Amino acid sequence: MGERTVADLLVERLSAWGVERVFGYSGDGIDPVMGALRRAGKPAFVQARHEEAAAFMAVGHAKYERGPGVCLSTQGPGAVHLLNGLYDAKLDSQPVVAIVGQQASTVLGSAYQQEIDLVRLFGDVCAQFVQAAYTAEQVPMLIDRAFRAALATRSPTCVILPHDVQSAPAPDPEAHEHGVIMTSPGLPPARVLPQDEDVRAAAEVLRSGERVAIMVGQGAYAAAGEVVELADRLGAGVTASLLGKPVLDEGLPFHTGVMGHLGTTASEQLMRECDTLLLVGTNDPWTEFYPKPGQARAVQIDIDGRRLGGRYPVEVPLLGDAAETLRGLIDAIPRREDRSWRERVEASVRRWHEIATARASAPAEPLNPQHVVRALNGRLPADARVAVDVGSVVYWYARHLRLPAGVPAHLSSTLASMGCGLPYGLAAKLAAPDRPVVVLSGDGAMQMLGLAELVTVAARWADWADPRFVICVLNNQDLAEVSWEQREMEGEPRFATSQRLPDVPYARYAEILGLRGVRVTDPGDLEKAWEEALAADRPFVIDAVVDPAIPLLPPGRPAEMVQGMYDALSAEGGDVAGRALAHLRRERADEGYDDPA
Ligand SMILES: Cc1ncc(C[n+]2csc(CCOP(=O)(O)OP(=O)(O)O)c2C)c(N)n1
Ligand SMILES: [Mg+2]
């Protein structure tokens, strides 16, 4: 082997940034980097089936590990494939660094094969930092800047490496001359705190409220204890954004669960009745489920100043770390003696739990998807990691899954992209092979990326200390979430041609790949299926045949807002729509509505 190249230097720099694993896919555009990875033996290269999945894995890694995720792809088509995963990182504020190959700089501009203007392609998604290297000397500096920008702004960033730059001799690491810059890796997290007078002003707002609601998002992850303490002092109710669901134990009697269209009736009531709102580390977009503007005096805590006041008019914005800022508030707020609001919240939580239990036990054809997810409660191992794909399963996850304290769960929330489930689950597993993983997915999402990434699971599981990797597919042969959106938002009948999905024998497919699987069609077999899957000696697919007729009913909507669903179902006709009408009427009645016939 010849002299050290820029690619060798790049790979070393990744290790210097603490990167243990790079997710990607090969191509001649990135071959010098692949060669350097081979020579160095680290970071490990994880081959996905598709660059989109590799990018999702990098996002998943960032979410489970709370550190930067790295993805690697070739020029042209490989680069284009990364985009969706990078947008997932951007919209959910995750640090991801994409390293992308490019044709040799000597041909750029010639409309060469696979030549795409990559700076322009990534210009929007990696707006915080995207740069192509022209020279060897730039590369360590660009890598350092890309990681630092990704971490400092919690966003995806991108370094584009023409082929000739990758294979150029490594530059002098001690050059000290005009036009060359030496940089260094590393960015330790800092303490960020608001000013004392702002904390005092916020405490005053919260103290003077009589009906305080606290909404937690993913920014409150390290502040669970502080949220509980403050909620106790204020006699407040707590709700969570979708991303904030794993923050607090949902068994707490004053936790109303997730808010929003896919949230609980208790959260809807909390938002509707509160007079004061504290937002902690959340940027949840479901603003029509927030209090009405003007209804509540609001305080918001966020580590990113760009978010403050961005979802609800806020009286006191606090730029700071959630836990420490909350401690400042706790010190300034005495315990409220009047507990009547807290009692009202707790009653609404008990009522929601009754509603949820009843909804999950309603008979369906053949399985009720709510029952499928609920049957996992109490069975999730304490060290499990959960990944959720996008589709109606997010509703059932949000409303019905009880995460044991310390069990993380992640999904593509703000981009809400289908296909994240298996890649996230793989990233979770590869970072902690001794922990069991559970992936919840719809059949559409499984067909979109999941079936391909099941091949990755099959190729890797033999190396895992704990081989348990359970994928539960909610097989309804429907793009059900959108079918319900067609009915609710458009007042249109489901368009079967766009919504119907082919049936795939997911469990048999798993078996062909050397995994295990079972198709469940009888509700009586569900608990056994979960137990078998969580005790299996290898990855396991539960093909749960579920009813597409279970409504995705938003909580607490006045009759006129659900009339579209009734009209659409009546116009639709047929068995499924007939069952759906009955389920809709029953679920509305359990919320106390007597909708016009
Ligand atoms: C990449 C992508 N394409 C399309 C959508 C729009 N969409 C949201 S949910 C959904 C249906 C998902 O179907 P499936 O995985 O079968 O889950 P189900 O809702 O049927 O349970 C679709 C098409 C999306 N969110 N992401
Ligand atoms: Mg489906």
> Which value, to the nearest 10 degrees, does the dihedral of the CA atoms of residues 205, 211, 215, 219 take?
30
Structure tokens at 248: 């607090």
Average pLDDT of 575-579?
97
What's residue 410's pLDDT? 98
**Binning pLDDT at 50, 70 and 90, where does residue 597 land?**
confident
| Cβ neighbours of residue 353 closer than 8 Å, sequence gap 6 or more | none
Confidence of residue 546 (pLDDT cuts 50, 70, 90): very high
Which ligand 1 atom is nearest residue 442's CA?
A: 15
The best mutation among 50, 91, 262, 392 to test binding of ligand 1, ranked by most ligand atoms within 8 Å of the C-beta, falls on 392
Q: Residue 8 in contact with residue 39, Cβ under 8 Å?
A: yes
21-24, strands of its sheet edge to edge: 44-47, 21-24, 69-73, 96-102, 156-162, 130-132
Distance of alpha carbon 224 from alpha carbon 228, whole angstroms: 6
The response to whether residue 88 sits with its C-beta less than 6 Å from ligand 1 reads no
Nearest to 162 by CA among 112, 128, 204: 112
Q: Which of 56, 451, 481, 503 to mutate to test the pocket of ligand 1 (most atoms within 8 A of CB)?
A: 481
Max CA-CA distance within the chain? 82
The pLDDT of residue 154: 97
Measured in degrees and rounded to the nearest 5, phi and psi for residue 470 equal -105, 130
Average per-residue pLDDT in the chain? 97
pLDDT tens digits, residue range 221-278?
A: 999 999 999 999 999 999 999 999 999 999 999 999 999 999 999 999 999 999 999 9
Ligand 1 atom 3 nearest Cα: 418
The residue type found at 324 is E
* Ligand 1 near 417 CB (within 6 A): yes
pTM equals 0.98
Residue nearest to atom 16 of ligand 1 (CA): 444
CB neighbour burial string for 316-348, b if at least 16 within 10 angstroms, e if fewer = bbbbbbbbbbbbbbbebbeebeeeebbebbbeb
- Atom in ligand 1 nearest the alpha carbon of residue 389: 15
Dihedral pair phi/psi, residue 99, rounded to 5°: -115, 120
DSSP assignment, residue 377? T
Handedness of CA 154, 163, 43, 144 (dihedral sign): negative
Given a contact cutoff of 8 angstroms between Cβ atoms, the answer to whether 256 and 231 are in contact is no
Question: Confidence band (pLDDT; 50, 70, 90) for 92?
Answer: very high
CA of 483, nearest ligand number = 1
1, pLDDT greater than 60: no
Q: How many C-alpha atoms does 88 have within 13 Å on its Cβ side?
A: 33
Q: Whose CA is nearest to atom 25 of ligand 1?
A: 417
- Distance between CA atoms of 369 and 394, rounded to whole angstroms? 11
Euclidean distance between CA atoms 163 and 231, whole angstroms: 56
Neighbours of ion ligand 2 (CB under 5 A): 442-444, 476, 478, 480
62 CB-near residues (< 8 Å, 6+ apart): 68, 69, 89, 94, 95, 96
pLDDT of residue 408: 97
Dist. CA 260–CA 555, nearest whole Å: 8
H helix runs in 362-450, sequence order = 369-374, 393-400, 421-431, 443-445
Residue nearest to ligand 1 atom 10, measured at CA: 391
Cis peptide before 185 (omega within 30 of 0): no
Sign (positive or negative) of CA dihedral 328, 334, 340, 343 = positive
Phi and psi for 74 in degrees, rounded to 5?
A: -80, 175
- Most ligand 1 atoms within 8 A of CB, residue of 83, 88, 418 to mutate: 418
DSSP-derived letter for residue 255 is E
Three-state SS string across 430-499, please?
HHCCCCCEEEEEEHHHHHHHHHHHHHHHHHHHHHCCCCCEEEEEEECCECHHHHHHHHHCCCCCCCHHHH
- Among 144, 166, 142, 180, smallest CA distance to 5 is for 166
Q: Is 510 in the pocket of ligand 1 (CB under 6 A)?
A: no
Strand partners, 44: 21
Give CA–CA dist 114/111, Å, rounded. 8
For residues 261 and 554, is the Cβ–Cβ distance under 8 A? yes
pLDDT digit string, tens, across residues 360-419: 999 999 999 999 999 999 999 999 999 999 999 999 999 999 999 889 999 999 999 999
Taking the alpha carbons of 541, 455, 407, 357 in that order, is the dihedral positive or negative? negative
Q: Is 294 left (phi over 0), alpha (psi -120 to 50) or beta?
A: left
From the list 346, 335, 345, the residue with the least C-alpha distance to 229 is 335
**Is the Cβ atom of 388 under 6 angstroms away from ligand 1?**
no
> What distance in angstroms lies between residue 483's CA and the mean position of ligand 2's atoms?
10
Task: State which ligand 1 atom lies nearest to the alpha carbon of 481.
Answer: 19
**Mean pLDDT of the region 102-107:** 98
- Phi and psi at 557, nearest 5°, equal -90, 140
Distance 441 CA to ligand 1 centre (A): 10
The yes-or-no verdict on residue 447 having pLDDT over 60 is yes
Q: What residues form DSSP beta bridges with 276?
A: 212, 297
Interacting residues of 120 by C-beta distance below 8 A, sequence separation 6+:
none
Average pLDDT, stretch 347-361? 98
411 Cβ inside 6 Å of ligand 1: no
Q: Nearest-CA neighbor of 499 among 554, 567, 576?
A: 576
Cα 502 to ligand 2 centre (Å): 10
479 Cβ inside 6 Å of ligand 1: yes
The pLDDT tens digits for 115-143 are 999 999 999 999 999 999 999 999 999 99
